[in-house]
Amino acid sequence: MLTGNFENKTNVLIMGDALDLAELQKTLYKVTSLVAGYELEDSDLFLLFTHFSQKTEGAWLAGNPQKNSVYGKAEVYYHSFESSTMELLLLTSLLRALSSFLIINDLDEVNIYLLENLSKRAISGNHQQQMELIRERVNKTLESSGIKRFIQDFRCYETEQKEPAEELRFEAVTRYLVPAVAGLFVRI
């Protein structure tokens, strides 16, 4: 089961055994496959999921468990990787919104739920409104523009270099998700 360490206020240490992280990567792969199906591999959304997937894969392929626990007589090794709170929040909002366009199984649903739980626990009280605002705007933008247009126009990076997702900031994300007219959300 995926779990997290929240001692660092800006980043979350996401932990799980090798099977947990491999299953999470399969869930992420479904989203990247959906985006690739629209031939939009250069989109910010694709890059966001790819960066997160690479961190997930790196954690369980490295073979260096960073924490272990003993359950009964079995010793369980946990692998971990870091994610920024904003990256995790945005990723879970997008996973939930895009899940209706995917064929997901129970494990995918559990992975999405666990990541949502980690993002809720990582957000401090004063950022709770930001979390709700991002989720609401992701859903409304997707509803108003359609999936292909949403993927094409989605922006979460401020620079053209498409830097790693750790640089995500609330302002960069919400600049794309700004209300325009009568409840429609467009990129400005």
Long-range contacts of 109-117 (CB under 8 A, 24+ apart): 111/2, 111/23, 111/24, 111/27, 112/27, 114/1, 114/2, 115/2, 115/24, 115/88, 115/91, 116/92
Token couple for 116: 């949502």
Q: Tens of pLDDT along 106-123? A: 999 998 899 888 888 887
pLDDT band at residue 161 under the 50/70/90 scheme: low
pLDDT value, residue 179 = 38
pLDDT band at residue 182 under the 50/70/90 scheme: very low
Question: What secondary structure letter does DSSP report for 38?
Answer: T
Q: Tens of pLDDT along 19-30? A: 888 899 999 999
pLDDT value, residue 29 = 92
Token couple for 91: 């990723």
Q: Tens of pLDDT along 52-92? A: 888 888 887 876 666 566 555 667 778 888 888 888 888 88
Question: What secondary structure letter does DSSP report for 125?
Answer: G
Identify the bridge partners of residue 81 per DSSP, sorted by sequence position.
Answer: 14
Note the residue count of the chain.
Answer: 188
Rounded mean pLDDT of the chain? 76
pLDDT value, residue 166 = 42
